[in-house]
Structure 1
Amino acid sequence: MVHIAYDPIYAHPLPEGHRFPMLKYELIPAQLLHEGSISPAQIFSPAACTEDIILLTHDAGYWHDLEQLALTPSHIRRIGFPLSAQLVQREIMIAQGTIDCALLAMQHGVALNVAGGTHHAFANRGEGFCLLNDMAIAANYLLHHQLAKQILIVDPDVHQGNGTASIFAQEPRVFTFSMHGSHNYPFIKEQSDLDVPLPDGIGDDDYLQLLQQHLQALLHRLQPDFIFYLSGVDVLSTDKFGKLNLSMAGCQQRDTIVLQACKQQGIPCCIAMGGGYSPDIKHIVEAHCNTFRTAIDLFG
């Protein structure tokens, strides 16, 4: 059975007027339940990640300032959200949700966090709507507890996973693979273990060929025993920031390529949703729901 991390706080950590980016977190599980793709028994609510686990990844000074709501105004502007205790609580629950999904994936092959994919958070700062790096926290948890020896982070969100790349720059047990728009945020990029910059307007065929080529080569070379997959849907042609030209079907085929490879090679996969900024919320929700549907079809 596919397990899904979700809590209502995912959807409502912001004051009125800032909530549109959060609507999808409420609508995704509602749609999957409505259509019968999942049952309530498959959804669990994570607890809050503990400080000792957070500090495996994030600097103590940054975590203290974040927890105490003591970030500077310029730092808060870089993050892009008004800072609040509820927002911090959301982030630490998302981080624990990704850890829990990683552990469940080891049992069932795959598990998905309705939120997460906060790949712009660095060890010592947040930016780009990301405060804590949930996949980095979960990867370090697996390494710390000797539950994985070689981790591959597959990040085809349209924005480079700059925080993740920085956090693991000196960690050979975690390989960061970012396939992103070359002319998109962040405009000053970090160096992932493998960066595949994409031209504006790239469509389904060229995009999927590049993904298949690089992913298969990495799986053959690295022989990872765990994969984190950041399934951002800001690659869609409808996305107002993405600059790429993937169709809804192409975005779902991207998910299929990654998850089929995990299934065929017996590699557990933890999925987080990442970005999506189409003006019509139904495009965002449908593309994210397709990721869940694909996982369910392949793993049951």
Structure 2
Amino acid sequence: MIIGHNPVIMNIKKIVREVSQHDSTVLIIGETGSGKEFIAREIHRRSRRRNKPFVVLSCKDLDITIRQEDILGKIEEDANDILRKTGIFEQAGKGTLFLADVHEAPPFYQKEFISMFSQNKYLRIGSSSFTKIEFRIIAGTSCKRLSKNEDFRQDLYEFLSNVTISVPPLRKRRQDIPLLVTHFIKVFTDVNKRKFPPMPSHIFESLMEYSWPGNVSELKNTIRNLVLMSPDGELSTEYLPFEIKKHPLEYIKNYKLKDAVAEVEKFLIRKNLSRFSGNQSKAAKAIGISEAAFRYKMKKFGITKNNY
């Protein structure tokens, strides 16, 4: 279920209902965390393929953690047996394949994709016979002008964009924040068997005024931590990230100096790690300390490269 009453979101709901009834390719455009994969899953859930697999292929990981044989599958024969590796395409079967961050696919894979998709078949590594493609293709990108991107094949763009859905960032649909907050609180209280807490006005104001650069994903993670870390049946300001608090200095005015300094340090470390996509060297330089000192403080505050 797509949550929101914003006019753009209402139109997206209408498009999702329509495209779920046929197999056109769909290109979903939106900032990181705006809900592209969620919308793709909603299209799949409403379609005749709902009981078939929904498989995600992360294009930014191609040739890093995902190899060609991971996609196509592989067949090897030895004297005694035939060894078969199932690839992502085969896993998708008659379901839906979601190409996440498709704009980050290397040129080689872009060429392979348009060749296979346009011919509606692919060749497993080690096999001499083609396999028919029966899955639906939906792609997601954070590149707003993919059609103008010189690093992306125009023919692949045209193939993927039979239907285009543009998802607005959360900061441009603030009226939906209360609905999303209520939904996420209910999800995390139900799953963890906790009491549904009242929403303090100062926390609500902070959530409404924050810019949410990480969009719905950031809001979801914030509410999850707020629900799980606060006492049962309550929402405690203590567990609201420093940068989200409406008047952050007001929240630390009664802290001891060392605790107030620690809060500011944690804020700057997290903010600059996010700014530089986890690059510790650049983040350390931005706040004016050595990389060794930066790493020491990360360890001290329990900040990791995967959780900042």
TM-score, normalised relative to structure 1: 0.28
- TM-score between the two structures when normalised by the length of structure 2: 0.27
* Structure ID, larger Rg: 2
